[in-house]
Amino acid sequence: MRRPVILLAPIFLLLAACSSTPSADSVTTTEPAAASSVSSQFVTSDCAVQGGNPTSASVAPTKGITVSGVTVAQAKAPVVTIAPALPAVAEVQTKTLVAGKGAGLKSSDVLTFNYCGIGLVSQTQFDSSWANGAPLTSDLAGLIPGWGVGMPGMKLGEQRLLIIPGALGYGPTPPVGSGILPDESLVFVVELVSIAK
C-alpha cells in the first residue's frame, strides 16, 4: 500500500503554530536517550527513495560536501551520508550545496520547496518530498523553528543543508511513528523551488 503523498508535512506546519521560535543562541540540547542503539557505520540515504534505501559502510564517502559529519552528494535527488556517533548540535548550521539566483527568501515569503529529513543520531530518513513526488508550499512561520533560522536568504534553485538542534525541531515529543528520537538533532537538505510574496 502506498503512503500518502505528504507524510510529515502537516506536522511541520502544526509544530510552528503551537511553539515560539527561540533564538539559536538560547538553545541547549541533550543527546537523545536512544543513541545506544545507533549504528557504528556511515549510513547513506537516497532522498529519491522513501525511507532512503539506506546502505552502510565502514568508511566515509569520498564525494560530496561534508559539514559536521554529514555528507551530501548530488544525484537524481540528494544522497545524504551520516557519520556514526555524531553529537547533538547546539545551533543551526547551514551550508549552500547548489547556488541559486535572484532575490533572497524573506521570513514573510511563501515558498515552495523540496526537502529530505534525516535524524542525526538515528541516521534514519523520516520524510522526503523528492520520494513523495511533490514539493511542499508554506510560509516560514508554518515550519519548524529551525527552518525559520536556517532558510532566510535562500535564492531560487538553491539547495541548502540545514543541521537543526532538537529544540528547534520536534523537541522531546516528535511525531509518533516518525522514527525521530526525542530531542534529536535533524538534518535537512532543502531546495527552493519558488517564492511568492
Cβ contact 128:189 at 8 Å: no
- Predicted TM-score (pTM) of the model is 0.82
Cβ contact 158:53 at 8 Å: no
- pLDDT of amino acid 38: 55
- pLDDT of amino acid 35: 41
**Domain ranges within the chain, ordered by starting residue:** 9-39+85-196
Cβ contact 196:138 at 8 Å: no
Give the three cell numbers for residue 84. 556514526
- pLDDT of amino acid 25: 38
What Å distances lie between residue 20 and 49, 56, 117, 144, 149, CA to CA? 33, 37, 21, 10, 12
Give the three cell numbers for residue 132. 513523495
Spell out, as residue ranges, where the chain has pLDDT lower than 70: 1-38, 197
- pLDDT of amino acid 156: 96
Chosen CATH of 9-39+85-196 out of 3.40.50.300, 3.90.45.10, 3.10.50.40, 3.40.50.2300: 3.10.50.40
pLDDT, tens only, 81-130 = 999 999 999 999 999 999 999 999 998 899 999 999 999 999 999 999 99
